[in-house]
Amino acid sequence: RNEMKDEIDRVINQVLPDTEEKTAEIQQWMSSVVSRLNHYKAQHKALLKEATTLLELALWKANLDDNEGGIIEQEGVRTTRGRRKRARKEIC
């Protein structure tokens, strides 16, 4: 964020007042801003993918921990807490 703010400040306050061909300068600046935004979006996407993977692994492990006591859930069948409690009582 600060990097973009500094760049905006540089272009508006330093480059444009001294430039005769302002349109070309603005177009070049806009191109560099778009390029940086695309870079930041790619970084953000990579971080989201990593976070999603970690969350999926944590949920998978939590599900395994829930099933560890001999309660095996059938795929596609929703198991409520009440069913799990009853199943645990039946096992004991």
Q: What is the pLDDT of residues 1-21, one digit of tens each?
A: 677 777 777 766 676 666 677
For residue 92, pLDDT beyond 80: no
CA 8 to chain CA centroid, Å, is: 26
3-state secondary structure of 82: helix
Q: What is the pLDDT of residues 19-69, one digit of tens each?
A: 677 778 788 888 988 999 999 999 999 999 999 999 999 888 888 777 765
State how far the Cα of 86 lies from the Cα of 91, in Å rounded to an integer.
9
Q: What is the pTM of this model?
A: 0.49
